[in-house]
Every structure is written in C-alpha cells, then in structure tokens.
Structure 1
C-alpha cells in the first residue's frame, strides 16, 4: 500500500462507494464492496484500527452474557445476536487463521447449584453454535480446573466450567482487512479527515471535502454512494449530511489492564494457556483475564462515556479490574504489576435514550437517509463485522442498481493464503538460525507474509535486532510497516503495527529511539522532525502511565 499513489487516485478517480471510517465495519465494507467489483475509496481520519476497533478484549465470541440476558428476559433480540455471532465466530477463524484461534475459558464455581446453572447455560451456548461449535463445554473437577488454570486459589474453588470462544488480534485483523481491500482494488488512505460533505440542489451527497492531516493539503473525493462507518462519531457525519437527523449513538467505555505473562502462573508445558472468566462483578458484568501475545489482559469495564471522548485506563479502573480477578487467584496481583493498558469506546445504538449502556443490545443497523442518501452502519461489535458489512454493501448495491453477490464468507484475508497450524513450525525449520520466539511472533502476526518481513534481513542483517528486551518485535517490522503497511507516524508503528504501546509502556520507551531512527529514514524526516516526533510520542506514553497510576513519573511493571 503506497500512500502517495493512493492520494493521487483519491483526487482523480470517481468511485462507486466512498467509505468514511476504516475501523472494523468500514474496512469490512471495503473488502466486501471491492471483492464484488465495485470502485471503492476508504478514508480514515487517524490510523487503521486507532480507536474502538483496536481496543477490544480480543475475543471473537457469541457473548455468554448476552445469552444469559436473553434467557432471563426472554429477549429474542439478544438470542438472535448470540446466534449470529457464533456463526461469524467460526467464519473468522477460517478466513484469518493466523490472527484468530480457539481459546479455552474457565469460569470458577462455588457450589453444585452454581455449577449446574453455568453448565446448562454453556450447553445452550454449544447448541446455538450447532455444527460451527469449536469444542464442547465441560464441567471440570477442582483438580482438573487447577491443571488448566493453575492461578486459581484452591481454597476458594469448588470446580469450574470450561468452554471455548475465539481469540484474535484486533488491530492486525483490521489492517489485514484494509490490505485485502487494497489487493482487490480499493483505494485506501489513513490520516485523511472528512471536513464536510458536498451536496447537489436536492441535498444528495456528491462528494466529501477532505484534508490530509499530515500535510494539510485539501481535496475532494467523488462517489455515487457514501458509507458512514465512523462508530461512536457516526452522528457527526449523519447530522453534517442532514441537520434534521437525530442522535442515535451512545458510547460506553471499556478499559483493560495489562500484566506481564509471569503475573499469573500457567501449567508447565502449556503452550496455549486458558483464560479466566469472572462471572460476577458489582455492576453485573463479566470480566476476563486473558493470555494475549505473552501478556495478560484484564478487562473490561462498562461505564457511560461521551462518544467524542479519547479514553485511557484510569487508576480506579485498574484497581476495579484487579480486585475482581484477585478474588479467584491464589497470589493476588498488585496494581504495581501493571505493565500497560488501554481503553476504548463501544458504539451503542440507542432506541431508548434513558436506557443504561449495559442494557443496550450490541446489534447493528443500516440506515439510509432519504434526503442525503448517506448510508450509515451503526452499532455492532467486532465478531459480527463481516455480517454488518454485507448488509451495508447490499444496501449500497440496491442504490447503485447492481446485484453482485457477497464473497466474504469464504474470502481469505491478507496473510491467510497457505497458512495452517504447521506454518509456525515450518518457519522454525526453514530458519533455524533465527530466534524461535521471533519466528513464532512473525507467523502469528503476518501469516504467510512473514516471509516478506524475513526477506528484509537480506538487505540489512541488523534488522533482526529486537526493539526491546523481552519482546519478539524486531527492527525489520518497522521497515515493513513503513514500506508496505502505510505506517506514517510513531503511533502507527508502536501502538498498532507492532502493538508494543498497548502492552508494555516501559519497553515502548526503550524501543522509541531506534524505531524513530528507522522510521525517519523511511519517511525522509529531518533531524528536527524526528526529534519532535519522539518528544510527542514519549509524552503520550508517559501520559498513559500517569493516568493509569495517578502518579507523575511513575515506573510501572517492577
């Protein structure tokens, strides 16, 4: 993906569909539309996956909480959402096997009655998944539960139930969608902000006026149909296109604390540790302690937020999350063990403005404004992004008067072609001279495109050097991100392409100088620009650390 060439095409070409927003739903729409043969432009104001889509709990799931609500309240909407999500869960594991895989989750049980309740509920979960079930849920004895999750406090544990959902790398999957769309002919660009819409005399949108946030250059993008896929900020686009539109979006904040992989013990020889599902919290949520990329993610909160917020993990949230996990583990984890953290906003579609965020169904809606012609995809969640995109593009095809079929249920995403469970071992066998953990990381991040990263080492062998001690990220990934993944800034690289900025703040600061030096060469920065970029990013990471701990200059993860 070449951004300069992309910008030139955005200025000169006319498109069938222009998509505003390149998170999960927008990038999904781009893949769907481009694979149907439509001319597609995809515009992202920040970076791909920079907001909601990059701050999820990293689960591809039907939603056991939604199932419980559906049963308790006899709510067919919740039940339908679970069924659709379970179907899409299996699809995602097929089209992006390098980024998505099954994950065992254990829920602790206090007594026989509670165990029976959970076991029956999870059997219903299995039945709803049908033939697309991963593995059957089981009720485990205390001894067996401890073998799967050694961190449990045996003195508080009666037994546990185990079930399977999917786990994924949300930011990398978002990027894979963008890459797949580009490979199918879509014109994609990050850091391009839509300032306003242009309409004809009847009020129909004919173009959007945009600005390149990196240069300040302004230009127009013309299309026949415009899709609003801006998540929590969808109302701003809707009302900009038609000021008579009402407010539809609500937001809730989900915060996650990140701990080192050593914070909770795993079974000896266990290559894929199980996760913990905390079934009861003070506010009626479920929480997770999930192994992810060598760390533990503890999440998530659910608090009311403004759709325009830029959220971050706060001290009371970190304490809340760890307090609930500590109720079930043998060796409680202190907030001082925090290595990283992140927070995001959930786009919630409201019908009742007085309803709490927790009671809103995580479903979606495709809205077509009859005045402006704007197509807005609102609500939803990561697991059902493909279905959301399909329904949105179907609506666009009706407007365009064309009926090409959807291809995305079987379309393999970037990096998935030729990938299977044996691919990681194949890399290790093919490159025995390279560290095994680095090769494993490359396979899990890039799929079969890992070979393209390794080929860069022919140009410069030193690019095999790690960016930070204790992590598998290497310098070649910075080069690869700049040359092929449209990474333009230090946050693009360290927060998203490499994701170090989410999981280990100290290591991110360690990696900053060499990352900035490599990116400066690729982007032709002056020494002054490099220094300014470093200072700005360092301040951002230190700000996240201070917000999470409530202490200026705090050192975390000791």
Structure 2
C-alpha cells in the first residue's frame, strides 16, 4: 500500500473497473474484482473506512431485532436479511481471525414470561445459523447472570438469556480488505475526491475525474466500468453521473457513547431489548472501554459529520441505567461517535428504524454507472459478490467469486498465542504484544522488527495504554496513514475510546508522522491544530443540546 506508486498508476494506466468509495462494500468489491482477474482502481475522498464503515456497533450479526420484526409483522424481507447475515457471519469471523471474534451477549429479563419469550426467539435465531460453530443460546439463572456481569441491579433481575454473535474492529477489518486487494494487484488511494466523469460519445462513463485533496493535483482515471460504493453519499455520485435519476437513500444517524470499562466490568456484552423508541441498544466491551449504542434518527445534511449531542447522550444513558446497580453519570463519558446508515426507501413517510438493511445493485442504462445501495457490515462480502456479478455481465464473462475463502491481510498463518512469540523475540510487555496481534495479526512481527532498528520505537504513546511509537511508523509506511486522524481514529481506534487520551498523545504522534511524511514545522503545527480543534468540537457538541 504505497500511495505515490498508486497515484502514478491512477494517472498513467487504464483500468477495467474504477470503484468509488473504500468502505467495507467498496473494498469488498475491489478484492472480489481483482481476484476475478479484473484490473481495478479503488479510491475514496477521505481515508479508508472513514465514514459509515468505521462507526458501526462493531457487531457481526444476523440481527435479533430483524428476526423479531419478521415474525411480528410477517415480513419476509426481514427474515431474508437475518438469514443472509447469519450465513455471512462465520465467513467474516473466519477470514480475519485477528480482527473478528465471537462475542457473548446477555439479555437481562425481569420475569420468567419475558425469559421464555427471549429464549424461544434466540433459539430460532440459533436455528438460522446452520453453518457456524458459535455456542447456542442459554437461559441463565440470576446468580449465573450476576457472576458474568456483576454491575447489574440484582433487585430488578429475574434471569438472563445468553447468546452469541461476532465482534469486529470495523475500521481495521476494512483496511485488511483494502490491503488484500492492493496486494492482489489493485491500485488503491485515499484522499481522492471525485469531481466529475469522462464520457464516451454515447454518454457512457469512461473516466473518473478526481482531485488528490492532499496535493490539489487533478487526475482522470480511465476505466471501462465505474462502480459507486459510497454508502450514504451514493445519491451524490448517481446524480453526478446522471442528473435525471431520482434519489434512493434515506440516511439515518446512529450514535454511540463510550464509557469506562467498569460500567459493565465484564467481557460479556448486553442487549437491552426495551427502549423508548422500540429499538434495541447494545452495551459492548471494546478496546478497554464500554460502548453503548445506537440511536436512529433521520439525517438530512450528509455533508456534515454527525456528532454526539446532549439529548443522544441522555437517551443512551437512560436506556442502560435501569439495568445497573449504580447508574452511570454523563460526566464519565470518555468519547462518542456518530455514523450514517445508507438506508434504502421508496416511502418518505416510513420511519428509519423500520427500514430493512438490505442492499440493491442498480445499473444506470444512460451512464453505465453501477451503484451498490444499502446493506450492512455483516453482509459486505455478499453485497460485493452481487455487484461484481453485475460487472461480469457488463464484460460478458462468467467468473467465480472466491472471497468466501480469502484470508485477509494479517490473518495468514495467524495463531492466538502469537503474542507470546512477540514478547520473547522483541522483549515487549505482554499487553503490548496482545494488542499488536489483535490489531495486525501475523504482521505484528513487522512492527517488532522496527523496534530492533530503533529502540525508542518501543516507547508507549501513553503510559497506561498498549500503543507504541513503532505503530505510527508502520501505519504510515505500510497502511497509507497520511493524517493524524487516520492514525488515531482508524489505525489504533483511540479517538473513539478516549478523546482526552487522543489529545495527550497528539504531539509525539505528530512528530513521528512529520518525520515519515516530510512535513515542515508549519505543516505539522497545522495538522496538530486542525485535529485538536476537531476533538475539542466533539467534546463541546457532546456537552450541548
């Protein structure tokens, strides 16, 4: 993943397919297409997974809520969505074992009737998962529940139903897909914003006009086929290709708050089945913190980043607090984040929470643009398969999709005890080695090797956290991190687990990135100021209604 080399290819070569948008679906399409033998370009206006794909609830799941709605409303579209999710769940877990793992989720219940209802529902959920090895659901006693999540309020608790889904580091999982596509031959580049299209005499797209927002340089990327994978921004690209098209998306905002790990004091997650607006909310351990989410509200201005506000903080706290012996205080908030769902809707009067998270592949006959619309993280591979199947039709080819068995970057030769070998080889503390193997998989060894050349790269970014300086160097050289936010938000995830810790680590990370990327002193200070102002805005927005 060498950005200058990719930019040279984008400028001088012609591609079979240019994919716009390097979130999970775009990265998935790039990997699938290049494995089918196509010459592929993949670009994004920001960083890889910088929008929806890094701001999920971090779950790999069929959707317990969709299953409930399917039976209550006899909605077979919801049932299909559950089946697809559970079919894909085991593939997502298998293909990147360092970034995805099983997660136990507890549903607290207040009566035996409620417990029976959830037990039956989760047994049906288990029955749909026919091709994986996750444990089946169990109905646990009050004592068993409290042994697993000791912070629950024992006075209100009758029992609990335990079930399993998967958890992933969404941003790094997307990055692993991009890395795998690049290593298979795709030209990939972040910070390439689309400004227009080149067209053939018949009006079909044959080039993507883009601006490198880091340098201001303009590109015309020649491609026989253009695929739009821009999630909640897909209508912008569709209308740029053909202004006569009608809008298809209803973006929905979902936010999460992040609190100290002591909130649950558990490795188990919680599913909260009763909320004031009929959703389900999750409380999940993630990166040494507790993440609570999510909300679901209409969001009109997709050009502005969704942030957390006081009302949303209060909603999530009020949803969780009835289950806890000691209610959380909003002052405990460590961070929070918002994201947009790319929901498909033909009915503007329908609430966003009732919309199915299914996907559709659309081909515009006038421009030739293929757009992948809708969908969710768990089914990214299936979404990509359907899209590249459509590309096969365009090229009059019949290719086999092999992404179900493609082990992603870092997953090759991975073992769960790899961290022990790192500790011995590089004399690093256990918690640092465990962190490195969970973030970089079998490639954690490359980071260890950097510390042999420069012992100071073993130093932690912050004394109480496992992140080290060598990661900054590695992510710039090998993972195309080009801004401070790339590193903090998507390479190590510190932005979403601790705003104040991010601010504390900024100077040392900026020094290392400046050295690697050749920033001048003025540019370094501008990068620090810009990012620090952004974090301060997040803090301010979270405090204001």
Q: Distance in 2 between matches of 1:521 and 1:141?
A: 57
Q: CA deviation at 1:426?
A: 3.7
- In structure 1, what is the equivalent of residue 338 of structure 2? 343
Q: Which residues in structure 2 correspond to 1:492-507 (within 5 Å)?
A: 492-507=486-501
1:296-332 Cα shifts (integer Å, max 9, x gaps): 1011111111243410111111111111111101111
Runs of 5+ consecutive residues of structure 2 not aligned to the other structure: none
For 2:396 and 2:113, the matched residues in 1 are separated by 57
8 Å Cα contact 1:469-1:507 kept in structure 2: no
> Which residue in 2 is equivalent to 1:282?
276
Q: CA deviation at 1:338?
A: 0.5
SS in 2 for 1:206: strand
Deviations 1:362-420 (A, max 9, x none): 00000011111100000000000000000000100110122221110000000000113
Is the contact made by 1:21 and 1:45 (CA closer than 8 Å) also made in structure 2? yes
User: Aligned pair 1:510/2:504, yes or no?
Assistant: yes
Task: Tell me the equivalent position of 2:521.
Answer: 527
**What is the 5 A alignment of 1:423-438?**
423-431=418-426, 433-438=427-432
SS in 2 for 1:354: coil
**1:199-228, CA deviations, whole angstroms, 9 ceiling, x for partnerless residues?**
122210011111000010002001111000
Give a deviation string over 1:60-98, Cα, whole Å, max 9, x none.
011000000001011111001100100101001100100
Alpha-carbon distance between aligned partners in 1 of 2:432 and 2:77, rounded to the nearest angstrom: 44
- What runs of 5+ residues in structure 1 fail to find an aligned partner? 267-272, 552-558
Q: Judge conservation of contact 1:232–1:308 (CA < 8 Å) in 2.
A: no
Matches within 5 A, 1:146-545: 146-266=146-266, 273-306=267-300, 307-431=302-426, 433-545=427-539
| 1:146 counterpart SS class | helix
Deviation at 1:477, TM superposition (A): 0.6
Q: More deviation in 143-152 or 127-136?
A: 127-136
Larger CA deviation: 212-221 vs 302-311? 302-311
**Contact 1:253 1:343 survives alignment (8 Å):** yes
Contact 2:136 2:163 (C-alpha < 8 Å) held by counterparts: yes
SS at match of 1:6: helix
Equivalent pairs, count = 544
> Which residue of structure 2 lines up, in the alignment, with residue 86 of structure 1?
86
Match of 1:126 in 2: 126
* Distance across 1 between alignment mates of 2:368 and 2:151: 54
Q: CA deviation at 1:358?
A: 0.7
SS at match of 1:388: helix
Post-superposition offset of 1:430: 4.3
Question: TM-score by structure 1 length?
Answer: 0.96
Conserved 8 A contact 2:109-2:159 = yes
Deviation of residue 424 (structure 1)? Answer: 3.2
Separation in structure 2 between the aligned mates of residue 389 and residue 482 of structure 1, nearest angstrom: 28
CA distance in 2, matches of 1:200, 1:13: 17
Counterpart secondary structure, 1:346: strand
Q: Is the 1:126–1:133 Cα contact (8 Å) retained in structure 2?
A: no
462-471 vs 324-333, greater mean Cα deviation: 462-471
SS of 1:151's equivalent in the other structure is: coil
- Between the aligned partners of 2:402 and 2:131, the Cα distance in structure 1 is 21
Which whole-Å CA distance do the structure 2 matches of 1:193 and 1:208 have between them? 10
Measure the CA separation in 1 of the matches of 2:368 and 2:340: 27
TM-score with structure 2 length normalisation? 0.98
CA drift of 1:434 comes to 1.1
Question: Could you tell me whether the CA contact under 8 Å between 1:78 and 1:361 is conserved in 2?
Answer: yes
- Aligned partners of 1:351 and 1:184: how far apart in 2? 38
Q: What CA distance in whole angstroms lies between the structure 1 residues aligned with 2:59 and 2:403?
A: 20
Q: How big is the shift at 1:428?
A: 3.7
C-alpha root-mean-square deviation of aligned residues, in Å?
1.1
Give the Cα–Cα distance (whole angstroms) in 2 for the partners of residues 423 and 125 of structure 1: 34
Aligned residue in 2 for 1:270: none
Deviation (angstroms), 1:264: 2.9
Measure the CA separation in 2 of the matches of 1:525 and 1:459: 23
| Larger deviation, residues 540-549 vs 186-195 | 540-549
3-state DSSP class of the match of 1:167?
Answer: strand
Secondary structure at 1:367 match in 2 = strand
For residues 481-509 of structure 1, the C-alpha deviation after alignment (integer angstroms, 9 at most, x for no partner) is 11111111111111111211111011101
Maintained 8 Å contact 1:295/1:503: yes
Paired residues of 1:468 and 1:508 also in contact (CA < 8 A): no
* CA-CA distance at 1:429 after TM superposition: 4.7
**Which deviates the most, 420-429 or 75-84?**
420-429
Q: Tell me the SS of whatever aligns to 1:113.
A: helix
Q: Distance in 1 between matches of 2:132 and 2:246?
A: 39
Distance in 1, matches of 2:425 and 2:201, equals 63
Q: Distance in 1 between matches of 2:424 and 2:90?
A: 30
Given the alignment of the two structures, is residue 34 of structure 1 paired with residue 34 of structure 2, yes or no? yes
